Amino acid sequence: MDRSEWGERGGLSAMARPRVCVVGSANVDLVFSAPRQPLPGESVSGTAFGMFIGGKGANQAVAAARAGAHVDFVGRLGSDAFGNDVAGALEQEGISLKHVTRDTQEGTGVAGVVVEPDGTNAIIVVPRANGRLSDKDVQRARGAISAAGLLLLQLEVSLDATLAAARVARRAGVTVVLNPAPARELPDALLQLADVITPNETETRVLTGIDAGTPEGARAAAQALRQRGVGTVLLTLGDRGALLLPPDGNALEVPSFPVRVVDTTAAGDAFCGALGVAMAEGRPMEEAARFACAAGALACTVMGAGPSLPPRLEIERLLAPAP
């Protein structure tokens, strides 16, 4: 089954779907497969090329929709052909674009991705319209944020817009999940609004100064984030799975799933989108983290961001006990 097709694949009726709101970026990804990253001043012959819908916000919105949620997306697209492509793709996934603004001054965001044979990637992002998402845009969408069971945030739009969305959600009693990507330092004001934070190892090092590459380092980094005011810490550790540190302080390792890695692009977004759905359904955090790990692993098996985001049935199949 093509992952771009939306339907009742997860067995959830429209009435049963949890509501997830995503405030974030939307891009068109230009993906190049190559034997390795080029050195400065060097040209490398590639082996494949594709254009996909991307941006962390759009990716997480699609991931949540495919995992079974009704999704409202709040963002900004250019009034250009790329914007039309993104809007059409998101609408095909059943995502509401009522609160997406079409910018007449800046074009739709773009990203250039180089993928090596082992799935490792390097990305250049040009935000364009994403960088103009404002506090006012967020306030116009406060009804959708307040009506959601959960809000997903990332860092590819302005910090002002991200903070505004988190504050709207907190006032409405809506759970806030912050994916602090791309890596950057953050004010405690935002961290203290996050019920859950989902950094990878690079983002964890930027936020805490601690290397999470070992079990001891990961636990120390998670504790450091808790001390800055985050509710629950869920470190994503690649093929090591994830480390969950809830408010009670008892850390738990959540294993990943062995898969054949093709492209790691959007694996983190698949993780966050699936996590948001599982949490909005009221699942315990350990179960939600396991669901998210399965989605992230599956995303590594397909080339490109949008095509790699798995539907609910694939996630549940991976989670099912072996016969």
Residue 263: the pLDDT is 83
Q: Do residues 312 and 68 make contact, with C-beta atoms less than 8 angstroms apart?
A: yes
Query: Per-residue pLDDT tens for 300-318?
Result: 999 877 889 999 999 999 9
List active site positions: 269
For residue 162, the model assigns a pLDDT of: 98
Binding-site sequence positions: 27-29, 55-59, 156, 200, 236-241, 263, 265, 268-269, 299, 302, 304, 308
- Asked whether residue 78 is assigned to any structural domain, the reply reads yes
Is 278:288 a contact under the CB 8 Å cutoff?
A: yes
Partners of 96 in beta bridges: 72
- Quick one: tokens of 288? 């939600």
The DSSP code sequence of 165-228 is: HHHHHHHHT-EEEE---S-----HHHHTT-SEE---HHHHHHHHS---SSHHHHHHHHHHHHHT
Q: Is residue 40 part of a domain?
A: no
51 token code pair:
């254009």
The answer to whether position 49 is within a domain reads no
- Residues at the binding site for ATP are 200, 236-241, 268-269
Helices within the chain (DSSP H only): 56-66, 81-92, 135-140, 142-147, 159-172, 188-191, 201-208, 215-227, 267-280, 285-299, 305-308, 312-319
Q: In b/e form, how buried is each residue of 258-271, taking b as 16+ CB within 10 angstroms?
A: ebebbbbbbbbbbb
pLDDT of 225 reads 97
Cα–Cα distance for residue pair 218/36, rounded to 1 Å:
29
Whether residue 48 lies inside any domain: the answer is no
**Between the CA of residue 133 and those of 159, 181, 255, 320, what are the distances in Å?**
10, 17, 36, 40
Q: Are strands 48-54 and 27-33 parallel, antiparallel or unpaired?
A: antiparallel
In a domain, 13, yes or no: no
Q: What CATH number did the domain enclosing 285 receive?
A: 3.40.1190.20
Q: Annotated binding site for K(+), which residues?
A: 263, 265, 299, 302, 304, 308
- Domain with 272, as residue range(s), is 19-26+56-105+130-319
pLDDT tens, position by position, 217-264: 999 999 999 999 999 999 999 889 999 999 987 899 999 998 998 888
Q: Tokens for 312?
A: 């609910």
Overall number of domains in the chain: 1
8-state DSSP, 80: S
Residue 311 DSSP symbol: P
Low-confidence ranges of the chain (pLDDT < 50): 1-11
What pLDDT is attached to residue 218? 96
| SS3 category, 161 | helix
Structural domain includes residue 118: no
What single-letter DSSP state applies at residue 133?
Answer: -
What's the pLDDT score for residue 318? 95
User: Looking at the domain assignment, is residue 42 inside a domain?
Assistant: no
169 occurs within a structural domain: yes
Cα–Cα distance, 67 to 292 (Å, whole number): 10
pLDDT of residue 20: 98
